[in-house]
Amino acid sequence: MRYTALLFAVVWVGACTTATEQSTAIPEEDLEIDYSDASNWLCHPSKASDACDVDLSTTIVEPSGRTSLETADAAENPAFDCFYVYPTVSLDPTPNSDMVANVEERRVIAQQFARFGTICRTYAPLYRQVTLTHLRSFAATGEYKADPTLNYEDVKRAWQTYLAEENDGRGVVLLGHSQGAGLITRLTAEEIAGSEVEKRIISVMPIGTNIYPNEDGSYPLPPCTTSLDTACMVGYVSFRGDREPPADSRFGKTRPPAGRALCVNPAELSGDGDELYAYLAKRAFTSAVEMPFGEGVEVSTDFVSLPGLLRARCAENATHTWLAIDIHADPADPRADDISGDVIVDGEVRAEWGFHLIDMNVAMGSLLKLAKAQAGAWQAAQNNF
């Protein structure tokens, strides 16, 4: 490789938007959101055009430097559903966000969820999350003013509406990242595990949050161990393979007496051994800056994939458990030596965040392949009854 890709900070630390894109509406905390109204969803099959309707064309860059174009079309009459809760991205000025989809919500859908539309019907509710704006304020002042229950109550109501009006006995994959992953984990524990609804669960994929076992060592649903497992969980937090989480990192931290956080390697379960199929962004999440992917490599698409570059393994030390992302650079090929994704503040890499910003991007293809295989196993089981 001839040079190294630049690092960049996105979403949780470096998110930005314009004044015209930012809503100033204050959420009504006593208002119950009507999720029968499709306008309260970012992605919903009944909408003629939604946040999942984006161009997912990807430039494939081989080790030789040769490029090809991969297109991605929405699945026709998919047999199962995907329900997704997005991470902390809202730049609304209030402690909890409003129900207006701004650029930051739409952008994260394109990054983390729209590609699932190639295999399933997509459902992504808007919800009154604790905003990035407030988390920054809380970090500076120590004053927490957000309603700590509003985000979960919205997600629960959206899920209940989906079950009542949309599901019709179909299999469903639940996904979330960061704040969204925490909400999906709670939803699984309180609304799904041990209920009749559990029979409809293909898998639950809360990524970028710590999932701890109960006192008896069990999880809300058992960890997935093969691509044929259903009603199981896939979860991890990611760090560079050559940088262990520092002792103060919250991600993957062992919590006595619960024990170690869950780590399930999606590449291993998808049948690809340790090789990840990543879909990386051409541009930094919050700017028009284009990332370099190789010497003389022309990239005209918003997404890039670099076959064979990334491998994953679950790792642990005395204090943490995490998905280690190893970058297998080859000095002889023209591709860049590194990928972007570290959190950078004032020019310094914040090692405690690891690859949190791209937890899902580094494994997107693997997650898709795994979800599709699990959906097939789930459907086969239904046909046997």
Q: Are 314 and 324 in contact (CB under 8 A)?
A: yes
- Dist CA 240 CA 49 (whole Å): 37
> pTM here?
0.92
Burial group, residue 181, by CB count within 10 angstroms (0-12, 13-18, 19+): buried
pLDDT at 79: 96
- Dist CA 228 CA 245 (whole Å): 31
- Dist CA 180 CA 355 (whole Å): 17
- Dist CA 1 CA 332 (whole Å): 6
The domain limits of the chain are: 38-383
Q: What are 116's two structure tokens?
A: 């699932």
Report the Cα–Cα distance between both ends of the chain, in Å, rounded: 54
- Dist CA 365 CA 15 (whole Å): 25
Question: What string of H, E and C letters represents the secondary structure of 55-81?
Answer: CCCEEEECCCCCEEEECCCCCCCCCCE
Q: Are 211 and 177 in contact (CB under 8 A)?
A: no
C-alpha dihedral sign at 313, 317, 322, 327: negative
- Dist CA 250 CA 125 (whole Å): 27
Q: Are 198 and 243 in contact (CB under 8 A)?
A: no
pLDDT at 295: 81
pLDDT at 284: 61
- Dist CA 295 CA 151 (whole Å): 45
126: amino acid identity, one letter: L
pLDDT at 285: 54
- Dist CA 315 CA 251 (whole Å): 13
What pLDDT tens digit does each residue of the chain (385 aa) get?
433 333 333 333 333 333 333 444 444 666 899 999 999 999 999 999 999 999 999 999 999 999 999 999 999 999 999 999 999 999 999 999 999 999 999 999 999 999 999 999 999 999 999 999 999 898 889 999 999 899 999 999 999 999 999 999 999 999 999 999 999 999 999 999 999 999 999 999 999 999 999 888 899 999 999 999 999 999 999 999 999 999 999 999 999 888 899 999 999 999 989 999 999 998 765 455 677 788 888 889 999 999 999 999 999 999 999 999 999 988 888 998 899 898 888 888 999 999 999 999 999 999 999 999 999 999 999 987 6
pLDDT at 297: 84
Sheet of 238-240: strands edge to edge? 238-240, 321-327, 310-316
Burial group, residue 322, by CB count within 10 angstroms (0-12, 13-18, 19+): buried
